[in-house]
Structures are given as C-alpha cells and as structure tokens.
Amino acid sequence: MSAVVSRNSDRVFFGAMTGTTFAVIFVGFARTFFLKPLFDTPALAPLVQLHGVVATMWPLLMIAQVLLIRARNYQLHRKLGMVGVFVAALFVITAAMVVIGKPRPTEAARAMLILPMHQLVIFSLFVAAGIRFRRKAAIHKRLMYLATFITVMTAMRRVQTLLDITSSPYEILMVAAALLLLPLFVYDAFTLRRIHPVTWGGTLLVFAAIPLHSVVGYTAEWQRFADWLTNR
C-alpha cells in the first residue's frame, strides 16, 4: 500500500513541478516568443525560433511522460522516451549555437559565457544519467526533473526583466532554486524521510556554476577560449 501511495504522490509531485517549470518558461518568453504577434518585439532569427520550439517541446514532453505513467501506458512512455533523446540532443545543439552566436566583446561577457555552457553540460549529464537509470524510478524521475529545471534558467532571467528587477545571475539562480529545487528537498524529506542522493548531487552540480564563473570565468585561458569560440 505504501509503495502505491508513493508512486501516486510521485506522479502528482513531479507532474505539478514540471508543469510549473513550463509556466515559468511561458511567462518568461510570452512577449518575445509564445505571444509575439501581440507585442511589438524584435524579429527572431530562424535559429532562435528553432531553439524556442525545441526548448518548449522538452517540458511538454516531460508532462506527457508523467501523464502516460499515470495512465499506465508504459509502452507509449518508452517510445516517447526515444523521442525525448532526440529532443534533448537538438536542445543542446541549438542552444549552443545560439549562445556561441552572441557577441562577447567584454571581459565580463566572456566570463558570463561559462554559465550557459555549464548548464548545457549538466543538462546533458542529467539526461544521459536519466536514460541509464530509466529502470530505477526514483533516480530517473529526479534526474529528468533536474534536466527540466536547467531549461527554465533563461526564462527566469526574462521574468526578471519583465519585473524590472536588477540582480546578478547568482541571485537569479538562488530564486530559481528556491522556487523549483527547494520543493524537491521538502518532498524528499516528507516521503523518503531523507534527501535522495540525486537531489543532493544534482543541486551541487547546478550550483557549481557559481565558483566556475568566479574562479574560471576571468582567467586568461577562459577569456581566450571564449573569444575564440564566439569570434570564429
């Protein structure tokens, strides 16, 4: 009975949290992408439009996967998982192209490049590990949710702009973590009576962006690499 309750609560929790990430993405990009015809915003390059479509597909795919498990349609869930591999790969490729295609003329801008690059690396790690542990539900669900969390970071910065809030990337990360990662810690504490190792490890990887930006971002080596990467 307790196992059944746990599975049901997992489906509700991860479904709700994934839905929340999509809501943040929608709000963040409503003016420039989702509801663009209603607003006088600059035209988007074709590559940016493609990335926007792919980035939207990922959380929607995760929501669909949760609903399929809830409906016990495991066969379609597995098939859709193969589609998810393709979407994840396309997300990383298009995001990298968009990030690299943005001019980085200043030292601070080149140091900032390390943040989206870090996010793409750990997104890839979370997805790859999620596939590897697809038969271990507790691990798989958390890894896929952590991957989905990564896709919401840019949207959080857009929400910041909409609210006319001036803050650093670190503060944005803190707010995003408080809204979308802290509930995972609380959920673990109530349902498992402990914090799952994936929750701890994944969160540490997310926050590794802070020392990477501070310690590595301003080194001569990273500055040269970032300049070469964005000016090829």
Q: pLDDT by residue (tens digit) across 177-228?
A: 888 999 999 999 999 999 999 999 999 999 999 899 999 999 999 999 999 9
User: How far apart are the C-alpha atoms of 179 and 176, rounded to whole Å?
Assistant: 5
Angle between helices 197-207 and 114-132 (to 10 degrees): 160
pLDDT at 162: 75
* Cα-based distances in Å from 86 to 176, 211, 214: 26, 31, 33
Whether residue 209 contacts residue 115, with contact meaning beta carbons closer than 8 Å, is answered with yes
User: DSSP H helical segments within 30-112, as ranges?
Assistant: 46-70, 74-100, 107-112
Which residue, among 117, 73, 77, 72, has the nearest Cα to 226 in the 3D structure?
A: 117
Residue 167: predicted pLDDT = 66
pTM: 0.92
- Whether the CB-CB separation of 199 and 207 falls below 8 Å is answered with no
The C-alpha atoms of residue 122 and residue 89 are separated, in whole angstroms, by 13
